């Protein structure tokens, strides 16, 4: 017989998002359980953000030194020390040991349940671990079960064996030759990292450019860098078959529909990394017991409540919603849903309609609504050069019917960039809503561009008029002076 436990709130999934939901939800005194069947900390800490950034860092530092006369000769013949990078990666992921995160969970007063959770009906779950526990949530269940890689149905791929981002970020050895399927964020970051680590890399891209969700000039800059590093970039390329033999893995390449024939018809590699997107992890969650479809994303409203479930007890946040695909934005949603739950089911504040009106009637841009998810999402790709954008690209803005003006400036022409590097590659672009006179999108491409993004995020979220932005004076000589140049280009 399973044992039974009851909590005010049950959060399923102890990744970055679930941890933050649970912490915020407990702040008004609700009892909160966090259920995790693998490592507390989730994908980001052990197999995604953190290890991938470490794999990229040494190469980025060497590249930065190569741009500075006086330093560049010292590193002219230097290569990345792959063994040292992998050792640093092991430290950063705490050797895949989650005890420090478990300590934090306990220190903030949450109950950690180790095991796999499945819904068995409204507000009830079965948690299967070393023992089985029937868990009841008095008020709310929040699903934060993340996402899993999508593996394309290419003949022979499954039999040949392949890497996903997990194997790429946790590798113990650097393959002599790596084939990467997919030219999105994972594909681009891992192609660059493994090129630095010494692999001969080929990236197989269906479309005509890398980073299809970013501005085209960003993908072009990244492709130029990869090619300069010796990476073979195959555009308009479809992998039609894969096989493995003693000589390694062999990919047959055809033309993607509508495209010209790519530059190669076969790719030979030691390993193949599948980086063709991710889907919400909802297959084994018992969704059918509450009228939802297993395998599908969990549609949520701006309070992160799951649409189509009665009584307002089911919420979701993070990758599982298909609404966000980064840790920072998932954690933003986590703060919102945590605060919604803490307020709505406040032990002292619960009233006839289920919660304080301030939360129920909350307007956009209050702490109870994830308004920024709609058109102010920041994304950084730690490629070389880095690509960072927020809000809408030019194409998205036009699709949304906005009358846009696009302002672009070459970063090499900014004084700060010439100090940073004698050969600074990059550009910045603002997408301006002409009718409202505000920035609705911004893209920065260049070394350390990631660190310039937040100013643009504030401008987009704050809907700061251009004539007020004019008074935000960037310091001299920083690369951020590009803001001044862009505003001058706008006629200010
Ligand atoms: C290679 C790579 C690099 C990335 N780099 C970045 C980056 O630099 N910056 C960035 O912002 N984002 C990055 N991302 C995206 C980021 O990793 C995700 O957006 C983030 O991990 C999502 O967090 P989450 O909590 O929603 O899901 P997860 O981190 O996947 O956590 C979900 C947790 O739920 C658990 N779980 C699932 N089902 C159950 C169940 N039924 N019962 C119990 N437990 C369950 C899982 O074990 C897991 O621990 C990267 C992604 C990849 C793949
Ligand atoms: N720095 C970061 O914040 C960071 C880093 C890595 C990943 N992530 C997140 O993880 C998510 C997953 O990343 P991803 O790169 O796997 O997905 P993605 O959606 O960014 O890119 C997948 C690419 O694969 C292509 N593709 C699909 N099927 C294909 C096939 N059969 N053959 C060849 N190409 C194919 C798609 O056209 C697309 O360009 C992203 O949403 C991203 O936001 C974030």
**Ligand 2 centroid vs 43 CA: distance in angstroms?**
15
Residue whose CA is closest, atom 17 of ligand 1?
A: 44
Instruction: Tell me the sheet residues that pair with 63.
Output: none
CA-nearest of 447, 450, 451 to 385 is: 447
Pair of tokens at residue 302: 């701006």
CB of 322 closer than 6 angstroms to any ligand 2 atom: no
CA-nearest of 333, 320, 323 to 280 is: 320
Instruction: Tell me the sheet residues that pair with 482.
Output: none
**Ligand 1 centroid vs 81 CA: distance in angstroms?**
28
Contact 367, 342 (CB under 8 A): no
Other C-beta atoms lying within 10 Å of the C-beta of residue 69: 10
Residue whose CA is closest, atom 48 of ligand 1?
A: 42
User: Considering the chain, what is the average pLDDT of its residues?
Assistant: 96
Average pLDDT over residues 169-173: 98
Residue whose CA is closest, atom 1 of ligand 1?
A: 48
Residue pLDDT, tens place only, 197-229:
999 999 999 999 999 999 999 999 999 999 999
Task: Encode burial over 210-233: b for 16+ CB neighbours within 10 A, e otherwise.
Answer: bbeebbebbbebbbebbeeeebbb
pLDDT at 258: 76
Minimum-distance ligand 1 atom for the alpha carbon of 186: 1
Q: Which domains does the chain have, with CATH numbers?
A: 3-45+94-148+280-373 (3.50.50.60), 157-276 (3.50.50.60), 385-489 (3.30.390.30)
pLDDT band at 350 (very low <50, low <70, confident <90, very high): low
Residue 406 pLDDT exceeds 80: yes
Residue whose CB lies within 8 A of the most ligand 1 atoms, among 10, 11, 13, 39, for a mutation test: 13
Residue whose CA is closest, atom 17 of ligand 2?
A: 277
pLDDT at 263: 78
Q: Which ipTM was obtained for this model?
A: 0.98
Q: Which ligand is nearest to the CA of 317?
A: 1
Residue 332 pLDDT exceeds 60: yes
Of the two residues 263 and 236, the one the predictor is more confident about is 236
Using DSSP bridges, classify how beta strands 438-446 and 116-121 pair: parallel, antiparallel or unpaired. unpaired
Residue 260 pLDDT exceeds 90: no
Residue whose CB lies within 8 A of the most ligand 1 atoms, among 22, 43, 147, for a mutation test: 43
Residue 353 pLDDT exceeds 90: no
CB of 17 closer than 6 angstroms to any ligand 1 atom: yes
pLDDT at 95: 98
CA-nearest of 422, 429, 417 to 480 is: 417
CB of 208 closer than 6 angstroms to any ligand 2 atom: no
Alpha-carbon gap, residue 84 to 111, rounded angstroms? 37
3-state secondary structure the chain: CCEEEEEEEEEECCEHHHHHHHHHHHHHCCCEEEEECCCCEHHHHHHCHHHHHHHHHHHHHHHHHHCCCCCHHHHCCCCCCHHHHHHHHHHHCHHHCCHHHHHHHHHCCCEEEECEEEEEECCEEEEECCCEEEEEEEEEEEECCCEEECCCCCCCHHHHCCECHHHHHHCCCCCCEEEEECCCHHHHHHHHHHHHHCCEEEEECCCCCCCCCCCHHHHHHHHHHHHHCCCEEECCEEEEEEEEECCEEEEEEEECCCCCCCCCCEEEECEEEECCCEEECCCCCCHHHHCCCCCCCCCECCCCEECCCHHHCEEECHHHHCCCCCHHHHHHHHHHHHHHHHHHCCCCCCCCCCCCHHHHCCCCCCCCCCCHHHHCCEEEECCCCEEEEEECCHHHHHHCCCCEEEEEEEHHHCHHHHHHCCCCCCEEEEEEECCCCEEEEEEEEECCHHHHHHHHHHHHHHCCEHHHHCCCCCCCCCHHHHHHHHHHHCCC
Contact 315, 337 (CB under 8 A): yes
pLDDT at 352: 42
Residue pLDDT, tens place only, 263-272:
779 999 999 9
- The CA angle 411-414-417, to the nearest 5 degrees, is 70
Q: Which ligand is nearest to the CA of 51?
A: 1
Residue whose CB lies within 8 A of the most ligand 2 atoms, among 44, 150, 167, 185, for a mutation test: 185
pLDDT at 23: 98
Residue pLDDT, tens place only, 27-52:
999 999 999 999 999 999 999 999 99
pLDDT at 358: 79
**Ligand 2 centroid vs 152 CA: distance in angstroms?**
12
Residue pLDDT, tens place only, 122-143:
999 999 999 999 999 999 999 9
Q: Which ligand is nearest to the CA of 276?
A: 2
Residue pLDDT, tens place only, 76-96:
999 999 999 999 999 999 999
Percent of the chain with pLDDT over 70: 98
pLDDT band at 393 (very low <50, low <70, confident <90, very high): very high
Minimum-distance ligand 2 atom for the alpha carbon of 149: 16
Contact 202, 180 (CB under 8 A): yes
């Amino acid at each position: 017989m399973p044992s039974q436990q009851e909590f005010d709130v049950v959060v399923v999934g102890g990744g970055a998002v679930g941890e933050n939901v649970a912490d915020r939800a407990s702040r008004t005194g609700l009892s909160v359980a966090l259920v995790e069947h693998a490592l507390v900390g989730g994908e980001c800490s052990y197999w995604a953000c953190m290890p991938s950034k470490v794999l990229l860092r040494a190469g980025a530092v060497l590249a930065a030194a190569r741009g500075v006369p006086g330093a560049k000769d010292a590193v002219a013949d230097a290569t990345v020390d792959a063994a040292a990078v992998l050792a640093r990666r092991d430290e950063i992921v705490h050797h895949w040991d989650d005890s420090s995160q478990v300590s934090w969970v306990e220190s903030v007063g949450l109950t950690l349940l180790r095991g796999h959770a499945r819904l068995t009906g409204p507000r009830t779950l079965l948690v299967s671990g070393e023992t089985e526990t029937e868990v009841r949530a008095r008020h709310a269940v929040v699903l934060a079960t993340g996402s899993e890689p999508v593996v394309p149905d290419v003949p022979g791929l499954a039999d040949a064996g392949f890497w996903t981002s997990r194997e790429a970020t946790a590798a113990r050895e650097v393959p002599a030759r790596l084939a990467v399927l997919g030219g999105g964020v994972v594909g681009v970051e891992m192609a660059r990292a493994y090129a630095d680590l010494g692999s001969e890399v080929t990236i197989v891209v269906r479309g005509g450019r890398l980073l299809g969700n970013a501005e085209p000039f960003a993908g072009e800059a990244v492709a130029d860098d990869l090619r300069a590093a010796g990476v073979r970039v195959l555009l308009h390329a479809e992998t039609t078959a894969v096989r493995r033999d003693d000589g390694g893995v062999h990919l047959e390449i055809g033309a993607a529909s509508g495209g010209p024939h790519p530059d190669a018809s076969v790719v030979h590699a030691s390993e193949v990394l599948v980086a063709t997107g991710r889907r919400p992890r909802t297959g084994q969650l018992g969704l059918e017991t509450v009228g939802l479809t297993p395998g599908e994303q969990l549609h949520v409203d701006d309070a992160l409540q799951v649409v189509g479930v009665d009584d307002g007890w089911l919420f979701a946040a993070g990758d599982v919603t298909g609404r966000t695909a980064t840790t920072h934005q998932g954690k933003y949603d986590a703060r919102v849903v945590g605060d919604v739950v803490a307020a709505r089911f406040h032990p002292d504040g619960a009233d006839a309609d289920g919660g304080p009106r301030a939360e129920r009637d909350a307007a956009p841009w209050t702490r109870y609504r994830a308004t920024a998810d709609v058109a102010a999402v920041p994304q950084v790709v730690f490629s070389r050069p880095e690509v960072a954008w927020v809000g809408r690209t030019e194409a998205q803005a036009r699709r949304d019917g906005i009358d846009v003006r696009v302002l672009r400036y070459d970063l090499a022409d900014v004084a700060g960039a010439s100090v940073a590097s004698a050969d600074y590659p990059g550009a910045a672009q603002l997408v301006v809503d002409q009718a409202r006179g505000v920035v609705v999108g911004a893209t920065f491409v260049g070394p350390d561009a990631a660190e310039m993004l937040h100013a643009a995020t504030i401008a987009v979220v704050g809907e700061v008029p251009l004539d007020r932005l004019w008074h935000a004076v960037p310091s001299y000589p920083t690369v951020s002076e590009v803001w001044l140049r862009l505003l001058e280009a706008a006629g200010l």
